[in-house]
Amino acid sequence: MKRQLRGTVAFAVCGSFCTLGAAVAQAEQLVRQGWELLPVMSYAASGLNTRFGRADEWKARLETLTGHRVLDTLQDPGNVGTILRTADAFHADGMFLVNGCADLYNPKTLRATMGAVFRCPVWTVGAEELSALLKKSGIPLYGAALREDTLDARAVDYNRCAIAIGSEGRGLTEGVLALCDRTIKIPMSEHCESLNAAAAATVLLWEAARND
């Protein structure tokens, strides 16, 4: 007996394991079966939105976000997924992956998101493109790093801003750090040198949500 399709909405996903051509073919089949395609929340896969007439909707959402999280060179899938899950929990508007972060659609990343990948939009962009997008929206970028202008994370106004998190071992890359309008630090015991990237992101996300 042929299985009946009972839904009206389907997600089309294009990751490292799926080419754009294959994703388009799958999406066309879903459309023929009467499914409605939601916009693909991945900058790298935006060709699908263009193909199915959702490019304008995708661009509009990207340009009107007010609170973002920026991950810089985070290559651990578990960290990326956990941060997306936390960003979703604390009402972040979206997340940017910059400079070769772990693939959003890596199975380990997906498991760590606990479903947040379907609710919180994510874009993969370069540093220059990130800078242009934030400037166009008038959103300052705060980096979790030490610099002369570094402020205590508890004293920062997080209203309408983006926060950049780097890897625990290397921190933010020079390119992303140069884009930061301000740097912030999490006060810790003197015998502690650093926090895991996901742990640091959780602290800053909670602090930002607390001040909303």
Residues 111-124 have pLDDT tens digits of 999 999 888 888 88
Helix (H) or strand (E) holding 46: helix 46-51
User: What is the residue whose two structure tokens read 């994370």?
Assistant: 153
Looking from the CA of 77 toward its CB, the CA atoms found within 13 Å total: 12
Contact 70, 188 (CB under 8 A): no
Residue 189: CB atoms within 10 Å: 5
Identity (one letter) of the amino acid at 205? L
pLDDT confidence tier of residue 22, bands split at 50, 70 and 90: low
pLDDT confidence tier of residue 4, bands split at 50, 70 and 90: very low
Mean per-residue pLDDT for 1-23?
Answer: 44
pLDDT tens across 57-106, in order?
545 555 555 566 787 778 899 999 999 999 999 988 888 999 989 988 89
